[in-house]
Amino acid sequence: MSDLDTQIPSTFDPFAEASADNAGAVSKEYVHIRVQQRNGRKSLTTVQGLKKEYSKTKILKDLKKEFCCNGTVVEDPELGQVIQLQGDQRKNVSTFLVQAGILKKEQIKIHGF
């Protein structure tokens, strides 16, 4: 990480403006909240795309406490860490993340039926 930081200012960064724009609009990187069906009337909620800076385990702990459900953090080779929660918690999760100030509403994409 520190390597990157030192590299960027020394050379011309073609994406500097673009990233600045993103910081203004903040709607580039979405957090996807999905729901999956399990057997019976059970389901599973996944939260994918949270920034690296946030500790997923700590967020998960609060989510579990808030919604009274179990959950886990799954390592995905491509998508990084993904939070899994039991039950359909899409609405809950999105409101929680917005209220905690982790995300803005435009950054959240809720999938599923």
Partner 1 sequence: MASDNATDLKDEISELAPFDPTKKKKKKKPVAQDHVEEVEKLVETTENLSVEDAGESVFSGMKKKKKKQVELDIEENEEGDAGEDNDDGKLGEDEQGEGIIFGGEQLPWEGTDRDYKYEELLDRVFNTLRENNPLLAGDRRRTVMRPPQVLREGTKKTVFANFMDSCKTMHRQPEHVMTFLLAEMGTTGSLDGQQRLVVKGRFAPKNFEGILKRYINEYVICNGCKSADTILSKENRLFFLRCEQCGSSRSVAPIKAGFVARVGRRKAGV
Applying CB under 8 A, the residues found at the interface with partner 1 are: 32, 34-39, 44, 46, 48, 74, 76, 79, 82, 84, 111-113
- Outline where DSSP puts E strands in the chain: 31-37, 43-48, 71-76, 80-86, 108-110
* Nearest distance in Å: CB 71, partner 1: 11
Q: Report the alpha-carbon distance of residue 44 to residue 97 in Å, rounded.
A: 18
Q: Which is nearer to partner 1, 13 or 30 (CB)?
A: 30
Q: Which is nearer to partner 1, 35 or 69 (CB)?
A: 35
Report yes or no: 104 and 23 within 8 Å, Cβ to Cβ: no
* Nearest distance in Å: CB 78, partner 1: 9
